[in-house]
Each structure stands twice: as structure tokens, then as C-alpha cells.
Amino acid sequence: MVNAGLGGWPARRAVMSPGRTAFVFRDRPTTYGEVHDRTARLAARLRAAGVGKGDRVAYLGPNHPAFVETMFAAHVLGAIFVPLNFRLAAPEIDYMLGHSGASVLVYAPECAAVVRAAEKAPGTVVAVGEPAAGELAYEDWLASGDPSPIDTEVSLDDVACILYTSGTTGRPKGAMLTHGNLVWNCYNLLVGVDVAGDEVTLVSAPLFHVAALNQCLLPTFLKGGCSVIMPSWDVDECLDLIERHRVTWMFGVTAMFAALSQSPRWDAADLSSVRSLMSGGAPVPPSLIHTYQERGLVFCQGYGLTETAPGATFLEAAESERKAGSAGVPVFFTGVRCVRTDLTDTAPGEPGEVIIKGPNVTPGYWNAPDATRSAFTDDGWFRSGDLAHVDAEGYFYIVDRVKDMFISGGENVYPAEVEAAIFEHPAVTEAAVVGVPDTRWGEVGRAFVITAPGAALDLAELRSFLGTRLAKYKIPVYLDVVDELPRTGSNKVQKARLRAVPLSPPAS
């Protein structure tokens, strides 16, 4: 086989374990043999539609086996897969379709209105649901494809995916990930996590997000395990699927794990099959980690970015209690440093920017040479824009985004630290903190908080609670109790939108 990239994975797995279950979706299993057959047929149809090496194939929709089939089929041909955030509006999707130059779009029925409104839809549009005039029906189109194997020469240096960054400010950038980036990320993860051939992985985060795809589904596929695919996040369905399918491993972000622990079913839920839980995307409050540890669950944190495919650091299970709250140490095949503005390494405990170098790091951004140049140091280290400090043993603690830090009275305030302290209040289920202008101190904190059902919280009570936990300059001057927080498709809080919320005078 001359395809050294992901396009060869279905065929290789079909030889090794054709009868094993690769995916479960809505309780329907699909074997590795069936995945290979369906991927080959779909690749034949894409080739007949003019897709070749380097062409872009886009997918828009919630988690579904068709997402994975479309990705592998594109990679069979050496094409580039473009997973799109189904939560975006039509103009945003239109921009990404135009910017990537996608020649084929496969979309789910939930996204029909967005596709109809798109002005830059590709020439070939395939509907997983009911097709409109001029569109193709996914299942019929796939079934008519030739199942004969296709072997295209693909190297690990070839681009496999374009993943658009969250775009919390300005236009999103299309991070290119090569086949090598994805493979080396799998190697890094498999060194740190004992993923087994009998793994049952719950894919509960969106697959267009780099962590769900590259930290969960692909390593599970590589090992021949089973991925239970959730169409969308739901606490009760998550608990049901864990019990019914005996899930052993899942990834989530802070908001997802907080929602699980706050469910009325938490205390009685059967989680006995779960071997490990993995989180990333934002710092996790230590109090939440301890909630899981009290149930006997191994809670591992990692740190990474879309541009690092995504793993950069990882906290292995053996250290999950002793180093709770840490994002771990650099993954095996990747270099990670914490540096000052002059790019010298920080001392233990000194905050600095995280920079990363290794075979899992993006070669750059699609059609954006200026953005690519500014993202790297002169000697090739990727600049994350994230702040961290490293302890004397080399463990990283992510402090915050450089752009989210604010200065109050000459002192640096890291919102993630303040959020973790607020989260300890029994009335709080979620919190986000931003800096806002202040005539006396330059900037002060403003907390946006979601409270538990039936709970109440005012600014005086919050400030009193934080008084023994934080320095005075870190304690928010403003409090907004809200029903929800604005989020990106990867569940990160959109702090730019929070900063734009009009400010009312603080309570006296």
C-alpha cells in the first residue's frame, strides 16, 4: 500500500479485525469491515466527482458515522478534509467554504437551512438527509460506488485536514494538519494513555473539534477499539450510554464534566466500566477534579491546541492525584517550553508563554502566509499565546490566555485562577471572569456566573467568600448572574462577547 496516510487505515483495520465493532451510533454497530467497504465506495464516488489529491472535501453536521466515512474517503484519494462547525451561521460557513476552496460538501439534515443560504456552496453537494434539487442523497450515492480498493500515494508530509480555529475575534484561520501531525499525535497519546484493543470510547464532544477527533476517535480506531458516537452532548444520554455500552474512556471539557457531576443521577450512576477520563480545552478547577476522584475515577488533564493536533502536555494517570490541576509534562515526542518575552526559559513558578515544537505541530495556516510567519519563532517554535508556569519537577500549570490576562493596580490577574476559586462556591455551576476598564485601577474583574437551580448569589457574598482565597486585587468588582455563557463550537467561553456586555455600576 503506497498510501502512508490515514486513508489506508480502514483497509489495514479491515485486514486485522474485520468483525470488530468500529462505531456505535444510536445503538447501531458498524464493523471495521463495513467501514472499509463504505469508505471505498464513497472514495470511488468522490473520485468520479472530480476529487483528487490536494482537493478539499468539507463536512458540515453533528457527530455521525458519515463524518468519519467522508474523512477517510477523502484521505483515500489524498484529498484534504475540512470539518466545519455546525453551530456557525451561514455567512461564517460561506467564508470557510470559499476560503478553503472545497469542491464537495457533505452535510447533515440539521444544517440544511445554512447550506441553502450559502452563496459559495461547492459544485457537488451531498445530503445525509433528504436532498434538495441538484443535491445527491448520501446513502444512495455511496451505495452505487465501486468497492474496489483505491491506493493513492500519500506521504506523512501531505496535508490531511484544515481545521478552522474558533474565531473568537476576527476571521478564523484554517490550521493545516498533515497526516504526520495526526499520526504523531496518536503516538504521543498512546504513550501516555493505555488505550486497549477492547477500548469503548465515548465520543461526546463535537468531532469538528480537534480533541474529539484526534485525541479520542483516531487513537481508538488505530487500536481497533469501539467508538460510541453521540450526536450531541446530553447529560442523561451520556450516563445512559456509559451504562449500556460499558464505556471505558471519554474526553470532555470542563463544562461537560461539571454538568455530569451536578446531575441528580450522579451519585447512583453506574460508572464502574470507566477506566479513565480526559479533559482539555481550558484549565479544570481542582475542586471538580476532586469530585471525580472521590468517585474513584481517574481524571487526567492535557493541554494542547488545534495547531498541535492537539496534544502538547499530558498528566498521566499515575500522577493524577499528586499533581491534580496540572496539565502534565510534555508529551513523549514533542518539545514544550515556558518562556519570557525574550524567549529565555522561565524559572520554576514564573509565568511565561508556552511554545511548542515537534512532529505534531502544524506547518501553518491555509492561504495565510503572514499569519503562519507570526505564529512561529525564528527557530521554529510555535507560539501558543497561552500563559503557564512550570514547577520544579517540570509539570506545566496553564494559567490563562495571554489576551485574557488583565492588569489591576499594576498586578497581573489571571482569570482562570479567579474562576477556579469562584467555582468552589456551592451556589456556582459555571463562572467566567474578564477584565473591564476602571478609572482608579486601570482594570478590574467582572464575573459572569451561572448558579445552581434554586440558588442565589450576590456580589457581597461572593466577595466575602473569595476574601480568604484570593488577594484583594483579584476579587471581581462586578458580578453578573446569567442563564448561560456564550461559547464557541468547541465549548470555550467567548470572552470577547462578555467584554462587550454593557456595564452597570457596581453595588455600593
Is residue 246 domain-shared with residue 347, that is, in the same domain? yes
Q: Is the pTM of the predicted complex or chain greater than 0.75? A: yes
Is residue 350 domain-shared with residue 420, that is, in the same domain? no
- CA 51, 57, 62, 64: dihedral to nearest 10 degrees? 40
Residue 205: CB partners within 8 Å, gap ≥ 6? 211, 212, 216, 233, 251, 252, 253, 256, 490, 491
DSSP-based three-state secondary structure for 368: coil
pLDDT of residue 489: 67
Is residue 62 domain-shared with residue 95, that is, in the same domain? yes
Residue 287: CB partners within 8 Å, gap ≥ 6? 420, 423, 424
**How many structural domains is the chain composed of?**
3
Is residue 395 domain-shared with residue 414, that is, in the same domain? no
Return the beta strands (E) in 381-474 as ranges. 382-390, 396-401, 406-408, 411-413, 428-438, 442-451
Residue 162 lies in a domain: no
Is residue 207 domain-shared with residue 343, that is, in the same domain? yes
What domain range is 59 assigned to?
A: 6-154
Residue type present at position 49:
A
Give the HSE-up count for residue 451: Cα atoms under 13 Å, Cβ half-sphere. Answer: 13
Is residue 215 domain-shared with residue 309, that is, in the same domain? yes
pLDDT of residue 490: 66
Residue 118 lies in a domain: yes
Residue 230: CB partners within 8 Å, gap ≥ 6? 63, 202, 203, 204, 237, 238, 241
Is residue 297 domain-shared with residue 326, that is, in the same domain? yes
pLDDT of residue 169: 45
pLDDT of residue 407: 82
H-run or E-run covering 288: helix 286-293
Is residue 342 domain-shared with residue 222, that is, in the same domain? yes
**CATH number of 411's domain:** 3.30.300.30
Distance between CA atoms of residues 344 and 341, nearest Å: 8
Residue 167 lies in a domain: no
Residue 371: CB partners within 8 Å, gap ≥ 6? 173, 364, 365
- Residue pair 172/306 in contact by the 8 Å Cβ criterion: no
Consecutive sets of 10 residues in the chain, 508 residues long: mean pLDDT of each? 97 98 97 98 98 98 98 98 91 92 98 92 96 97 97 98 73 94 98 96 94 96 98 96 98 86 94 92 76 88 93 91 90 98 97 96 97 96 94 92 82 86 93 90 92 93 93 93 86 86 71
Residue 99 lies in a domain: yes
Distance between CA atoms of residues 381 and 391, nearest Å: 21
